[in-house]
Each structure stands twice: as structure tokens, then as C-alpha cells.
Structure 1
Amino acid sequence: MSDINSISNVLQDYSIEKKAKTDKKDGNELGQKAFLQLMITQLENQDPLSPQENGEFIAQLAQFSSVESLDRLNNNFDSFTKNFVANQALQASSLVGRSVSVETNTSYLMQGSAVTGLVEIPESTDDLKVDIYSNSGELLDTIDIGYVPAGDLAFRWNGQYAEINGKLINWKSSHEGGLPEGSYKFSFTSTVEGKPHQMKSYLSANVNSVTIGSNGALKLNLAGVGAVNLSDVKQFNE
């Protein structure tokens, strides 16, 4: 039932946006009926002593035929677009409630769950560390990881313990019982040429809802992160 509601909400948002653009377009362009009415009025009011040439009349008919064909083409394209959007909405609804990883330094820790993600390590380092901040910017914990090789590093943190590449590291939160549910910021750094170097991180976040723009582009609304494009998702988590 939640999937059906998600599809309905997505299509409703799309329809409202589409209708607003259509109304604006109709108000600015000459429609098929108006074009035909103008041509008939022109014929009825032409000078009998200097009637319209056959060539001019045929040219106007050809122009009218082109307008009519374009109108049918637009209607067919609108129908195709609606079907495409409906299919997109159906696919998007299955993402609601799932966890995805996107490029961000912020994630939301849910009770009984963990923040997971990938960290890009451009070259091996022996002093990788993770600083964990509150949403207001207060430093809460520091995880000294130490040596890691170059490549994608899998990270998992549940507020009390941390795992690197599936292995529990020798670290425990300085907060008794671990940190509570909430939004946190993470900074993965190592020393490069004597200066701290920030690593690129892709952290997990739950999909709260999905919206579709007028161009059919999907946007995921992620807990603790905000809206991101579907194309920006690094991976879909189990």
C-alpha cells in the first residue's frame, strides 16, 4: 500500500508541475482552432475585386496541415512521457525505505543500526583517522585507524564500535554506551606532505521519499542528507 501511495504522490507532483507549464504555453501560443478561424475570417473578408491567389490559399492550407500534424505529434509525445513517468514512479517507489550510499560527509545514525559507506583512499597511508562531529560541529570522537592500502575502504560505525573492511578495529567510543541516534558529520583524513588531506567519502542514508521533475529526472530525499539525484548514488545497500 505504501508503494501505491508513493507512486500516487510522485505522479501528482509531476502532474501539477506539468499542468502549470501547459497552461502557460496555451496562453502564449496560437492554437489549431484559432488558426483555422483566422484563415476563414480572412477568406470571408477578402476584397472581391482582388481575391486571394490560389497559391496563397494552398500555402495557408499546407501551413495549417503542418500545425495539425505537430499538434498530433505533441499529443503522442505527451502520452509517451506520461507512460515513461509512470514507469519511473513505479521503479522509484521501490527505493523508499532502502539505504543508499552517496558522496557526503553527513549521515543519520538510526537506533539499532549503523552508518556504512566507502572511503576513497588514493594512495596507501599509515595515519588514517575519522573525526566524528555533532550536527552543530562539536567534535565528539576520533577513530585512529592507522595503516590502510590504496583503494575503496569499507566503513561501518554503530555509535560505539567501528569496522574497517569488515574487521572490528581496536577502538571504542569515549561516550558511555555509545552515541545516540541522530545526525553526524564525518571527516576522513590522513597526512600528505605534512598536511591533513581530506578523503572523499560515500556514506549511507535511508530514502525517505522520491520526487520526479518535469524532465523525468529522479531525486531521492535522504534522511540527514537532503535531495540528491539518482545518478549520484554510489551504491544501493542491502
Structure 2
Amino acid sequence: MSLINPLSSQSPLSTQGTSGQGIAPASSSGASANSSTTTQTQTTGNPFLDGIRLPEESSIPEAKSQELTQEDFFSLLSQQLSMQDPFKPVDNDQMIAQMASFSTVDGITKLNEEIVNLNTVMTSSQALQASGLVGQKVLIPSDTGHISAEDPSLKGIISTPEAIDTITVRIEDEKGQLVKTYTVDGSAGGNIDIAWDGLDKNGEPVTSGNYSIKASGRVDGESQDLAVSTYAHVTSVSLGTASTGAILNLRGIGGIKLGDVLAVSET
């Protein structure tokens, strides 16, 4: 006679029951699988590829302004008032002084911005007005002028401190070599107009280039060099900057500030 374990007879049923109950975990596992599938739509499953994958959103925060605005000031002021000692409150005059100081600084900042904008507008307006000088000649504080086929002669002004009977004029090339010498009458004093026809001492036209006009005369019994200004042809105008203003481009010489021009001539 053999004994039968009553639990062993129930083991098939228990196994079936366990299997039956295992269906529910299977559905739960299916849900996990779906959840895993949903996650895999955002990742590849490869740690290396996921590490180098570009982020969907930029992780770099936007640059914030470092300037203290009026809202920040009042926020700090509110915090200061809320944290103050009730037995030693902040003096009203001190608080008003702080508000006035901040308003003053804010106003100065806005004024600086307006001045910069005004300088830009004035520079553009100045360049527009200076464009009317294109094609004309301007007197510049320099003794160097340009000789070319378009301008075969050179004109200028000699400034004298007093009346001088005879003024000696010397024409020199870029190397400082003497090209021609002649004299002019300076008895009228003041500004004496001079002109050079572009011919050397032999009466031959000189080559194109820059030439200097040197002048000297006897002042108080001693020979003295005199200031010379020359006329130059304006070919174009540059806008320049707010500090320099409009720039006049002169033929063969270069640029000069509009404010440095001494006079304007048609020829």
C-alpha cells in the first residue's frame, strides 16, 4: 500500500493555476515590451550611439544681459526692505537717494545711446554735403601738391606775418631735389597767391607726381621759412567714422578730414 501526497495530486492543478495566473504577468510583460518599444523610439539601444546623438533641444542656455535693469533694482530694494530690522528701518532719504542715483545712471545710459545715433546721422549728413565738393579743388594745410595730365599746374597760398618785398619760391620733387626757383612779390602781406605752371628750370614739363612748394623771405632782417598751403583736386568722399567725419579723397595725395579744409575753389 503506497501513500499518496495530497499535495502531489493538486500539483497539476496548481501548475495550471500558476500557468493561468501566468497569463496576467504575460500581458504585463507585453505592456513592458510596449513601453520598451516606446522608449526605443527615442534611443537606439546602443550606449555609444546614444552618447553621440545630437540633442533634440539645445542644451546651451541663451546669453543673458549682465546689465542691471530698473526692475532688478526695485526687486533688490524690495528684498532690502523686507529683510530690514523693524527697529532700525532704512531712512527714507537714503532710499530716495538710491532711487534717484539709479534713475540718473539709467538716464545717462540712454542719453549716450541717443548721442551715438545722433553722431551716425550727422556723419551721414556731413558726407552727403561733402559730396558736393567732388570735382572741385580745396585748399589744404600742406606744401605738397600733385601734378598730372589732368592738373598740369599747381596753385597755393603763402602766408606771411608781415609785408615782404621779395619771396623766394622753390619747387622740389619727392626726393627733395630742386626743380625750379622763382620769386614773387609779397609787399601786400598776409596771404599771397602763387602758381606754378609745371615747368622745370629748362622750360620742360615735369613728370606726373607730387611736388612741394617751399617759400622763404626776410622777416625782421632774417631769412625765414614761410607757411605754404596748396590746392588739391577732390575725386571722391568717404563716410569715415563719428570721430573723423567725412573724408575727402584727393588726387595723388590721399585722404583728408573735411574739417581740415581751409578753403574751396572752383578751379
Cα distance between partner residues in 2 of 1:137 and 1:155: 20
Higher strand share: 1
Please state how far the C-alpha of 1:40 moved relative to its aligned partner. 1.5
Alignment of 1:157-196 (within 5 A): 157-160=196-199, 173-175=200-202, 177-192=204-219, 195-196=222-223
**Alpha-carbon offset, residue 119 of structure 1:** 1.8
The percent identity for this pair of structures is 24
Please provide the CA RMSD for this pair. Answer: 3.4
Q: In structure 2, list runs of 5 or more residues that go unmatched.
A: 1-65
Please tell me whether residue 123 in structure 1 is matched to residue 163 in structure 2.
Answer: yes
Aligned residues of 2:164 and 2:219 also touching (Cα < 8 A): no
Query: 1:31 and 1:225, CA in 2 relative to 1: closer, same or farther beyond 3 A?
Result: same
Structure with bigger gyration radius = 2
What's the TM-score, normalizing by structure 2?
A: 0.58
Q: 1:66 aligns with which of 104, 109, 113?
A: 104
In the TM superposition, what whole-angstrom CA distance separates every residue of 1:8-39 from its partner, at most 9, and x where no partner exists? xxxxxxxxxxxxxxxxxxxxxx7342x53254
User: Any idea what the Cα deviations from partners look like across 1:46-102, whole Å, max 9, x if unmatched?
Assistant: 665726647255544444433443344334433333322221121123234431112
- Equivalent pair of 1:96/1:210 in contact (CA under 8 Å): no
Corresponding residue for 1:143? Answer: 182
Structure-1 residue corresponding to 2:193: 154
How far residue 187 of structure 1 moved from its aligned partner, in angstroms, is 1.1
Kindly tell me the number of residue pairs found equivalent between the two proteins: 195
Change in Cα spacing, 1:197 to 1:53, as seen in structure 2 (3 Å) is closer
Residues 67 and 112 (structure 1), Cα distance of their counterparts in 2 relative to 1, 3 Å cut: closer
Residue 236 of structure 1: CA displacement?
0.4
Answer yes or no: is 1:111 the counterpart of 2:149. yes
Aligned mates of 1:118, 1:176 — CA distance in 2: 23
Q: Distance in 2 between matches of 1:95 and 1:215?
A: 21
Find the counterpart in structure 2 of residue 214 from structure 1: 242
Q: Distance in 2 between matches of 1:205 and 1:131?
A: 19
Matched, 1:233 2:233: no
SS at match of 2:176: coil
Matches of 1:124 and 1:57 in 2, distance apart?
A: 73
> Quick one: distance in 2 between partners of 1:231 and 1:85?
12
* Residues in 1 aligned to 2:126 and 2:234: alpha-carbon distance in whole angstroms: 16
- Decide which of 63, 67, 72 is 1:31's aligned counterpart: 67
Query: 2:78 and 2:181 mapped to 1: Cα distance?
Result: 84
One-letter amino acid of the structure 1 residue matched with residue 226 of structure 2? M
Q: Answer whether contact 1:211 1:220 (CA < 8 A) is retained.
A: no
The structure-2 alpha-carbon separation of the partners of 1:129 and 1:73, relative to structure 1 and needing over 3 Å to count, comes to: closer
Deviation of 1:234 after TM superposition, in Å, equals 2.5
C-alpha distance 67-119 of structure 1, shift in aligned 2 (>3 A): closer
Whole-Å Cα distance in 2 between the matches of residues 153 and 66 of structure 1?
A: 55
What one-letter code is carried by the residue in structure 1 that aligns with 2:264?
F
Matched with 2:54 is none
Query: Is 1:82 aligned with 2:110?
Result: no
The equivalent residue for 2:227 is: 200
Residue-by-residue CA offset, 1:101-160 (whole Å, 9 max, x unaligned): 12222111121422112223431314x332111101111222244x44223322222312
Cα 1:130/1:85, change in 2 over 3 Å: same
Distance 1:223 1:40, change over 3 A: same
